[in-house]
Copies of this chain bind each other. A is one copy, B any other.
Amino acid sequence: MFTEINKKNLSDEVASQIINRIMSGALIPGEKLPPEREVSEKMNVNRHTLREALRKLESLGLLSVRQGDGIYIKDYRDSGNLELLKHILYLKKDKTTDVFKDILELRRVISPEMAEKAALKRTESDIEAFHQILGSDKSLIEKDIAIHQIIAKAGNNILYIFILNFFNDIFKDFGQLYFKIEENKKVTAKFHIEISKAVIAGDAKSARKIMNDVIVYAEKKILNYLENNDDKI
């Protein structure tokens, strides 16, 4: 099928280039960058364009900018955030498998917790949301995202929602592959029914187990794919 073309601003390209320099170690933490005027000239972009890139890098925790002083590289291990990880995934293809493993591991820790909390805290509107999505004619992948979102929301912890956004962002390209496999589709459809039932019933222990099982299942499939680097998930 057709896949969206990824257009980029000049400032995003500038940002990517600098991220690469930092992640590859060409720019060392503590190091001072040349003045904006000089950097922009060397990169052959306008100073404003560079500045927009710098703002982005600042919010990724990669550098700090001080008026009258200069631009300093920060140690991303001290100040980096999850957003940065997305960029690492896109820019450093060789790290993809390692980072994916880390993300899957975190997901295995958090998702069951989310499900348990959802069963304990769900409200009438959450239950209504489950019924609505299960009865809808949306695609399996859309349903899957929706179900997880309802669970995160029902858990009533805003961090769960944001972390789920992160997972969704990371795995959105993967979903296509994963849901091509018939077995995975069956497992997922069954999961939707069971987790909904458990959360609606307020059965926290079951909700945790059901979530854990499906996460472990998917993790195994994804890891298998990553290690063999073929089209099977």
A102 CA to B109 CA in the complex, in Å? 16
Residues of B within 8 A of A80 (CB): 161-162, 165
**Contacts A59-B59, A109-B110, A165-B61 hold; do A82 and B159 have CB atoms under 8 A apart?**
yes
Interface secondary structure of A, over-half rule = helix
A74-112, CB < 8 A from B = 77-85, 98-99, 102-103, 105-106, 109-110
Within A21-73, which residues are at the interface with B (CB < 8 Å)? 48, 51-52, 55-56, 59-61
A206 at the interface (CB under 8 A from B): no
Give A99-133 interface residues, CB cut-off 8 Å to B.
Answer: 99, 102-103, 105-106, 109-110, 113
Interface size class of A (residues with CB under 8 A): 35 or more
Residue A157 is within 8 A (CB to CB) of chain B in the complex: yes
A99 touches B59 (CB 8 A): no
Task: Say yes or no: is A166 at the interface (Cβ < 8 Å to chain B).
Answer: yes
Q: Which residue of B lies closest to A106 (CB)?
A: B159
Known: A61-B165, A162-B84, A163-B82. A157 touches B106 (CB 8 A): yes
> Which of B51, B81, B106 lies in contact with A83, CB distance below 8 A?
B81
Is the pair A166, B81 in contact by a Cβ cutoff of 8 Å? Answer: yes
Partner of A59, one of B60, B79, B102, B149: B60
By a CB distance below 8 angstroms, the chain B residues around A52 are: 51-52, 55
Chain B residues with Cβ under 8 A from A99's Cβ? 158
Partner of A102, one of B77, B157, B165: B157
A88: min CB distance to chain B, Å: 8
Is A212 located at the chain interface by the 8 A CB criterion? no
Asked whether B103 lies within 8 Å of A162 as measured between CB atoms, the reply is no
Q: B79 to A159, Cβ gap below 8 A?
A: no
> Which residue of the partner chain, among B56, B85, B161, contacts A162 with CB atoms under 8 Å?
B85
Residues of B within 8 A of A163 (CB): 82, 106
User: Using Cβ atoms and an 8 Å threshold, which residues of chain B touch A60?
Assistant: 59
Tell me whether A11 is interfacial, beta carbon within 8 Å: yes
- A selection of 11 A-B contacts at a CB cut-off of 8 Å is A56-B59, A78-B149, A80-B161, A80-B162, A81-B83, A82-B159, A85-B158, A98-B158, A99-B158, A102-B158, A109-B109
